[in-house]
A and B are shown apart, each in its own frame.
Chain A
Amino acid sequence: MTASEKLDAHLLETIQWHFSPETGCPFWLEWMSKNFDPKTEIKTFADMKKFPHFQDEWLRDLQPEVWVPAAYKGRPFNIFETGGTTGMPKQRIGWEDYKTDYSEFSTKISDEHFPKGGAWLMMGPTGPRRLRLAIEHLANVRGSSCYFIDLDPRFVKKLITNKQFDVAKQYMEHVADQAAVILKNRKVSGLFTTPKLLEALSEKLDIHAAGIRGVFCGGTTMLPQYVRFIVEEVLENKIGFYPTYGNTLMGLAASVPLTPEDNYSITYYAPQPRAVLRVVNPEKTEDTVDYDTWGRVELTTLTKEFFMPRFLERDEALRRHPRAPYEWDGVAEVRPFGAMENKIVEGVY
């Protein structure tokens, strides 16, 4: 079965699940009553264009219970919130999805860089984010435990929007200082963090000498020159580097190992069939852009816990060809949508 056939099969199963009264959630069942029945309309992934774009306001304005599939009724759920916005956050509920995603991700990182049983340190957004439990699960799957240093990205965004750059810098130092203390006093070999925090930490101590052998990184834009800087200068080509692209709504897209031909351009591949990334023409979002061309990132999430068709991310990326081991399109050099036209607040995190 090809990846495309697997995706279509998984899609049909997911549609069947979410749009059947015995398994589906109140939101999608109601939606079906006002629109169309996807069970009859959707046969392949190409048919997904019949869905309008998922409105993320629904995740903010509606009570989380509307997203509980009937099959999960009565089971307490985790409430995860999206990254760095202020005001009422968008929430996604879940049960096991994050474990599935991160158990699978564990098979993509090497024992050399993340030794089984070796402790992890997570320095980044914890709080109400899925990432916090996900990283701990990832460590646990590998027989390891995890230390945590929190960073509140909402506070950072507020500081940067208010042009309080000195305070933002102090806060980043405060976070990196705490991580340095842990690394000086505990044996840690695996690190999850954001690129900027990694850089700040490396200015406080020699990360390799402190025992770190692998860095799993995500959170913000990582353009080629910055990746090169991280690999060559921050990690000194001695530490495994695993950039990822992800968020609460998708899970995480792993990157393929860099080759010299990549010139430090990172390509990410969605965890298909559970999530599908397309790079679409912003003016005509049914169409994908040509390969190696910029477009807006569109995410479709297809799990039994959560169905989210055609959500337009606030990111743009280059569409890339499939690359082993992935048989589907990748997204590369992800950056905030409109980054070339507008100044986007990303901050330290």
Chain B
Amino acid sequence: MSLPHLPVLRKGVPYESLDKIEVKDHRTGEVLATVSQVNAGIIRRDISRIGDARAALKKFTCEQLIEISKKAGELFLTAELPFGDKGHTQTPQQYIETLSRTSGLPHVMVKMNMAKVNDALANMRTVLNGLTRGLDLSVIDIGFGEQAGCPVSYYPTTNCLGLVMPSNSPAVNSLWLPAIALKTPVIIKPGREEPWTPYRLIQAFIAAGAPKEAFGFYPTDHEGSGEVMKLSGRALIFGDANTVAQYKDNPKFECHGPGFSKIIVGDDEIERWPELIDLMALSISANGGRSCINASAIVVPKYGDEIADALAKKLGAFDPLPPTDENAKLSGFANAKMAEFIDSAIEAGLKEPGAEDVTAKYRNGPRKAELDGGVYLRPTIVRCDSFNHTLANKEYLCPYASVVQVPQSEILSKIGPSLVVTAITKDPKFIEEILDSDLIERLNIGMIPTGKISWNQPHEGNMFEFLYKRRSIEVA
């Protein structure tokens, strides 16, 4: 049978370009599919005529779209869905295998990500309730109504949501899912190694009854990505600290950069540190350490050496395993150069005095490892003697964390912006100080892994407030 081909989707209509790229197995180099690529001009044209895509979604009520989202979640998780435009289909198992082969994620992690995506869709009502703080969604359908006895009116800020997706973790797609229920078409530039998840989600939505016009899928080059960001009235930005810095003050963009998520421990709880090791290790290593909600620093007032050693002992034993192994904890790198870059960056940091790779003595080999042609990075725990060290507040696409010892009174002044902070303390004064901090996006108080997210609260930005603005209204 022919190789699958993923076309561009222009308002849901397949378009086969003469320019195609091959997406390959990261270990063997076998071509798994071709993906059409379009130039920026096509994207400009389609976005300039996006109004009818929005009109197609407006024919549905939010309630109907919530139901469609729920059904789409089921289909994403369980159904055999169209896979490209050459007559291929894709079962959930085939999706898992293909994604694993191109991204390096082991099957067990792909399944976990699938479940997360499905949860986001299945819980769309809860998600929107959280985002809108309980707004009666007929207000969106009609344009105005009442909330808590007050007249309210919301208008859309954009005709489409632009997305230049990363390839690191499929669950990142759950960020855009509320846009459909909020009647906003999406213009998606998929990650080069991970076109599968957005394509499958789009097919699931369409099979569930969503209008195909609502979906733009545009594999493109750098210029095309720039146009997606520039011409969409609202866009999500994913990238490193430098990329995000360029956009963070522009209300048109919602930035998703490094999380620099952390676990901090108060003086009152530090004596029971051995009981915290499992939670810390899970926060560092879940999902292969690839998420912005993975902890990348452990900040403690005492026992820094002991904690670093215990974490290193626990995580250092992780070895690369075949992707089908249910115990696989490490993700392969689709781009081996990325692994080399990270490895050398850590090594360069370690050359500066004041840091030790505590994991080194517990590993069964070097940090960069190979298995069956795949490249992996074993976990790294670095004990830093201060927050000023280069490696103290870094985030890498692998299980990596620093352990830094700081007096409790200085913790909040040292940690810097943090997407998720798990604070292990019961000290009311310390909790009050933490609650007052403007550096923390999502706060867990108590024994909660940093990777745990709740559907009724946005952990990064608020998609409803991003896509809609309130106006005052009087109706005679």
**Is B45 engaged at the interface, CB distance under 8 Å to the other chain?**
yes
Given A233-B42, A234-B41, answer yes or no on A225-B18 (Cβ-Cβ < 8 Å). Answer: yes
Least CB distance, B40 to chain A, in whole angstroms: 9
CA gap between A229 and B40 in the complex, in Å: 10
Contact B18 A264 (CB under 8 A): yes
Once the chains bind, are A199 and B41 in contact (CB under 8 Å)?
Answer: yes
Q: Does B327 contact A (CB under 8 A)?
A: no
Residues of chain A in range 223-249 having any CB-CB distance to chain B below 8 Å: 223-226, 228-229, 233-234
Q: A203 interface residue, CB < 8 Å from B?
A: yes
Residues from chain B with a CB closer than 8 A to the CB of A229 are: 39, 41-42
**Most interface-central of A203, A225, A228 (chain B CB within 10 A):** A225
Q: Are A225 and B17 in contact (CB under 8 A)?
A: yes
Partner of A233, one of B17, B19, B37, B41: B41
* In the assembled complex, A263 has its CB within 8 A of some CB on chain B: yes
CA distance A264 to B39 in the complex (A): 15
A225 and B41 contacting across the interface, CB-CB below 8 Å: no
Shortest C-beta distance, A333 to chain B (Å), equals 11
Q: How far is the CA of A263 from the CA of B16 in the complex (A)?
A: 12
Q: Quick one: closest A residue to B37, CB to CB?
A: A225
Point out the residues of chain A lying under 8 angstroms from B37, CB to CB: 225
CA distance A263 to B42 in the complex (A): 18
Q: Which of B39, B44, B45, B48 contacts A226 (CB 8 A)?
A: B39
Contacts of B18 in A (CB 8 A): 224-225, 228, 263-264
Q: CB-defined interface of A135-179 with B at 8 Å, one 1/0 digit per residue?
A: 000000000000000000000000000000000000000000000
Q: Tell me, in angstroms, the Cα distance from A228 to B119 when the chains sit together.
A: 42
CA of A226 to CA of B221 in the docked complex: distance in angstroms?
13
Cβ < 8 Å to A, chain B residues 41-100: 41-42, 44-45, 48
Q: Which chain B positions have C-beta within 8 A of A225?
A: 17-19, 37-39
Q: Which residues of B contact A233 (CB under 8 A)?
A: 41-42, 45
CB-CB nearest in chain B for A200:
B41
Q: Which parts of A260-305 form the interface with B (CB within 8 Å)?
A: 263-264
The CB with the most chain A CB atoms within 10 A, among B37, B39, B44, is that of: B39
Q: Quick one: closest B residue to A227, CB to CB?
A: B18
Specify the main secondary structure of chain B where it touches its partner.
mixed
In whole angstroms, how far apart are the Cα atoms of A223 and B41 in the complex?
14
Least CB separation from A195: chain B residue: B41
User: Which residues of chain B have C-beta atoms less than 8 A from A264's C-beta?
Assistant: 18
A229-B39 Cα distance, complex, nearest whole Å:
8
Q: With both chains docked as a complex, state the minimum distance between the C-beta of A89 and any C-beta of chain B, in angstroms.
A: 29
CA distance A225 to B42 in the complex (A): 11
Q: How far is the CA of A203 from the CA of B18 in the complex (A)?
A: 23
CB distance from A229 to the nearest CB of B (A): 6
Q: Which of chain B's residues 131-181 have a Cβ closer than 8 Å to chain A? A: none
Q: For residue B39, which residues in chain A have a CB less than 8 angstroms away from its CB? A: 225-226, 229
Cα–Cα, bound, A143→B108 (Å): 73
Closest to B36 in A: A225
Closest Cβ of chain A: how far from B214's Cβ, in Å?
A: 21
**Chain B residues with CB below 8 A from A203, complex form:** 44-45, 48
**B48's closest neighbor in chain A, by CB?**
A203
Chain B nearest Cβ from A234, distance in angstroms: 7
* C-alpha spacing A116/B17, complex, angstroms: 36
**Closest chain A residue to B42, Cβ basis:** A229
**Bound CA–CA A229/B48 (angstroms):** 16
Question: Which residues of B in the span 20-45 have a Cβ within 8 Å of any Cβ on A?
Answer: 37-39, 41-42, 44-45
Shortest beta-carbon distance from B298 to chain A in Å = 40
Q: A199 contacts which chain B residues (CB < 8 A)? A: 41
- Chain B nearest Cβ from A231, distance in angstroms: 12
Closest chain B residue to A233, Cβ basis: B45
Q: How far is the CB of B104 from chain A (nearest CB, A)?
A: 26
Q: In whole angstroms, how far apart are the Cα atoms of A225 and B7 in the complex?
A: 14
**A263 — which chain B residues lie within 8 A by C-beta?**
18
Residues of A within 8 A of B42 (CB): 229, 233
Collect the chain A residues with CB atoms within 8 Å of residue B41's CB. Answer: 199, 229, 233-234
CA distance A264 to B41 in the complex (A): 17
For residue A288, give the distance in angstroms from its CB to the closest CB of chain B: 26
Central interface residue in B18, B42, B44, by most chain A CB within 10 Å: B18
8 A Cβ contacts from A203-238 to B = 203, 223-226, 228-229, 233-234
B27 to chain A, nearest CB (A): 25
Min distance, Cβ A263 to any Cβ of chain B, angstroms: 6
**CA–CA, A226 to B38, complex, Å?**
9
Distance of A264 Cα from B17 Cα, bound (Å): 11
Tell me how far the C-beta of A293 lies from the nearest C-beta in chain B, rounded to whole angstroms: 19
Tell me the bound Cα distance from A226 to B224 in angstroms. 13
Complex Cα spacing A11 to B366, Å: 68
Which of chain A's residues have a CB closer than 8 A to the CB of B44?
203
Closest chain-B Cβ to A13's Cβ sits at a distance in Å of 43
Q: What's the Cα separation between A226 and B41 when bound, in Å?
A: 9
Within the complex, what minimum Cβ distance (angstroms) separates A147 from chain B? 25
> Which chain A residues lie closer than 8 Å to B38 at the CB level?
225
A195 CB to closest chain B CB (Å) equals 9
Q: How far is the CB of B222 from chain A (nearest CB, A)?
A: 10
Min C-beta distance of B35 to chain A, whole Å: 13
By beta carbon, the residue of chain A nearest B18 is A225
How far is it, in angstroms, between the C-alpha of A203 and the C-alpha of B41 when the chains are bound?
9
User: B19 contacts which chain A residues (CB < 8 A)?
Assistant: 223-225
Most buried by A among B17, B41, B44: B41
Shortest CB-to-CB span from A154 to chain B, Å, is 22
Alpha-carbon gap, A234 to B48, bound state (A): 14
Q: How far is the CB of B340 from chain A (nearest CB, A)?
A: 21
Question: In the complex the two chains form, what is the Cα distance from A223 to B39 in whole Å?
Answer: 11
Of chain A, the residue at the smallest CB distance from B226 is: A165
* Complexed CA–CA distance, A229 and B224 (Å): 14
Bitwise interface map of B from 107 to 148 toward A, beta carbon under 8 Å scored 1, else 0? 000000000000000000000000000000000000000000
Residue of B nearest to A203 (CB): B44
CB distance from A38 to the nearest CB of B (A): 44
Given contact pairs A224-B18, A229-B42, A234-B41, enumerate 7 new A-B contacts (beta carbons under 8 Å): A199-B41, A203-B44, A224-B19, A225-B38, A226-B39, A233-B42, A264-B18
**Which B residues are within 8 Å of any A CB, using their own CB?**
17-19, 37-39, 41-42, 44-45, 48
List residues of A whose CB falls within 8 A of some B CB: 199, 203, 223-226, 228-229, 233-234, 263-264
Sample (16) of A-B pairs whose CB atoms are under 8 Å apart: A203-B45, A203-B48, A223-B19, A224-B18, A225-B17, A225-B19, A225-B37, A226-B39, A228-B18, A229-B39, A229-B41, A229-B42, A233-B41, A233-B45, A234-B41, A263-B18
Closest 8 CB pairs of A and B: A225-B18, A225-B19, A224-B18, A199-B41, A225-B17, A229-B41, A233-B45, A229-B39
